[in-house]
Chains A and B, each alone.
Chain A
Amino acid sequence: MAMGDATLRSRLSQSAPWRRWSGLLFVAPYLLLFAAMLILPLIIGLRLSTTRSDLFGVKAEVGLENYARLFSDPVFLKAVGNTFYFVALTVPALTIIGLALALVLNNASRWSAVLRAVFFASTVLSVTVVTLIWRLVLIPDGGLAAVIARLFGQAPIAFLSDPVLAMPAIALTTIWWGIGLPMVLFLAALQQVPRDLYEAAALDNASRPRILFSITLPAIRRTIALVVIIEIILQFQLFGQAQLMTGGGPNNSTRPVVLFIYEAGWKQWQLGYAAAAAQVLFAMIAIAAMAQYYVSSRKEPA
C-alpha cells in the first residue's frame, strides 16, 4: 500500500478530472459484479422466457407463449398455490413464535442464554441435514414420530405421504430450522425499547397484556414489519425442503414454484418455460413484499 500512496496522492491533488472519477474506482469492482451476475442474468432470463429453448440452445422465438402456457398449466398454478400456502403456514408462525420466544428470553439469566442458543442452533444447519433429520422423524417406518406413536399403541401417521399433511410437515420442518432468525431480530429490537416506558407502566400498575400491546409491540413495530418482509422473501423461495423430503408429491401437493422451475429447466429441458416461471416468481415476491411494506407503513402514525 505504502508504495502506491505517494503517486496516488500526487495524482489526486494534480488533476481535477481524475479526482472527479476516482470515486468510481471504489465502486467499480462491485458494479462490475452487479452487472455481470445480477443484471446480465436477469436480462438473459427475460430473453429466454420468450423463447423455446433447452440448456443447449434456443430453438424458436415464441413471444409470450410461455407465459400464456404457464397460466393455463394446472401444475404451475398448483405450485403457485402451494407456495402461497407454505408462506401462509410459515410466516405468521415464525413471526409469532419468534416474538413470543424473544419476549420470554429477553433477560440476562444464564438459562435464557442457554435456551436462546438452543433455539438458534438449528439455523446454522444446512438444508440437506435438516431434511435428513426430519425425514427420520416423520417417516412411518421407523421414524421417531412412528416409534413414539407405537409406544402409545397408535398407528403411525404417514405425514409425508398424505397430501393434506405433507405441506404442514414441511412447514414444521422449516419453522424448526428457521425460528432462530426472527427470535434474534426481535431480541435485538426489544433491547432498544426505552426502559422508562416500562417504569412508567409499572407505576400505573398496568397489566401484562396491556404493557405488551400498548408499549412493547408499538415500540418494535418496525422490526415486526421487517421480520415479516424478510420471512416472506425467504419462504417464497422454498426449494430444498420440498425437493428432498417429498419431491413435490404426493399428488403435487408440495411442489413449490422454485421446484417447478428446476424441473422444467433441468429435468424436462424446457428452459424458456422455466425462465418464464422464474419471472413470475420474481413478480410474486416483489408484489408480496411491496404489499406488506405498504400495509405496515400505512399503519405508522403520521
Chain B
Amino acid sequence: MLFNSYIFIFLFLPLSLLTYFLLLKWEKVSAAKYSLFFSSLFFYAYGNVKYSILIMTSILVNYYISEFLMKIKLPSKRKALFYFALLFNIGLLCFFKYMDFFIENVNWLFGSEIGLLKIVLPLGISFFTLQQLAFVIDVYTGQAKENKFIDYGLFVTFFPQLVAGPIVHYKDIIPQFQSKDNKSFKAESLSLGIFIFTIGLFKKVIIADTFAPFASEGFKHVGDLHFFYAWGTSLAYAFQIYFDFSGYSDMAIGLGAMFNIKIPANFKSPYKSTNIVDFWSRWHITLTNFITAYIFTPIVRSMPKMTFPYMMLSMFLAMTIAGLWHGAAWTFVVFGVLHGAAIVIHHNWKKYKIKLPVYVSWPVTFIFVSMCFTMFRAKTVEQAWRIYKGMFGFSGFQLPKGILSTELMNSWGIKYGPHMVNDENIHLALIIICFFIVRKMKNSVEHAQEFKRTHKEALVTAMMFVLCLFGLNRLTEFIYFNF
C-alpha cells in the first residue's frame, strides 16, 4: 500500500488510528499494540500476501534467536547462534536481492549459462533486515535487553517506517511503545503529524512526480543527450530522488507522530552541503548512523592498526558496501566507490588543511552528488558514462528550442537540438524553483520545530493537502521501494 493513495489516506490510516487509540482508551494496551502490529502487516501484505510470510518468518527467527542469546551463557554457543543469525539475515538479503546479480557475474566470468532465478525483491527487505541485524548484534554484545514479542514485532513492522525507512534503532522505538506518556491520543501530536505528513506528500506528489517523466525520458534517450539535455536529465533525477525519498521520510515521521511515536529525521537539507562528509550527515541520516555503527566501526576494529590510512580504507570499504546495499548492480557499487573515494579525499584535504571557499565547495559538492545519482539511476555503467559525456559537452552542444531566437542561433552557427519531452519550459522552471527550495528554504525538520498549530498553518497545510489529493491519481511508487 502506498502512502500517496486514497485508500491509505481515507481508509487505512483513520481506521488504524481509531482502533489503536480506542483500545488504549479502554486500557487494552496489548490489544492496541497487536491491532497496530496486524495493521502494519496488512499494510505490508497489501498487494502481495507472500511478503507477510517472509517478514513474519524473519521476525520470529530474529526474535527467538535474540531471546536465546540473552539466556545462553556459554560463549561458544552464543557465538554459534550469533553467526547463525548473521547468516540468516545476510543470507535472506543475498538470496532475494543479490542472487541474480551473482549468477550474472558468474556467467560473465566463467562463460557459463546458469539461468537466472528472477526472484521478486520483497518490499523493504533491506530496511527490516538491517534493523533486525542491529538488534541481534546489540543483543550479542550485551547492549540490548529483553523485550516482549509484541514490542519487538512493532519495532520491525510499524508501518510508517516499514517499507523504506527511516532505519529506526530499537533503542529509539521500543521504549516509546512502552512509555505511558504515549498511551493516549494527543491532539497536538495529530496536528504535528498532519503537518509533516502533508509536507512529505507535497514533496512526493507535486515535486518528485513532476520531475519523474523528465528524468525517465532522459535516461531512455542517452544516445541523444547533448549538453543541456544531459544536465537537465541529471538534475531532474537529483531533485526527483531527493524530494521522493525525503518526502517519504517526512510522511513516515508524520505518521509516527500521529501515533505519538517520534521517528528520527532522515534528511536535513543535504543539498546545502559544502563537502561530502557534510552531505552524508544530512542525507539518509539513519543509514549513515547504521553504516558508522555496524559496518565502519567493526571494519576499523578488524584492521591491524588504528592509523589514518587504515581508517580511510575502512571508510572506503564501508561506503562501497553501502552502495551495494542500495541495489544489485555494478552501478550501485560504483556509486558507493565514488562516495567512498570522495570521503577519503575530503579527509586528506582536511588533514593537509586544504579548504575551498563556499562558492566553490558548494557547487563542486552538489555537482558531484548529482553525477553520482546519475550513476545510481542508470541501468548500466555505460549508460551513466554516456550521460556524463553529454554533461561535459562530448556529445555535442545543442540548445533546447526557445532559449534564443533562430536568427541569432543561425548567425552563431548553433543548432537547436531534437526535443526530449514537450514541456521543456516546465522542466527548466522546476529546476530553478527547486534550486531555490533546497538552498534557501527551511527543511521539514526546521518547519516542524517552528510549528505553532495556528489556523494560518492549518490553511497552508490544507491547501497543500488538497492539491496533493488531485495529484494522487498519477500513482507512482517511491524510488526507495526498489531497495
Are these two chains actual partners, yes or no? no
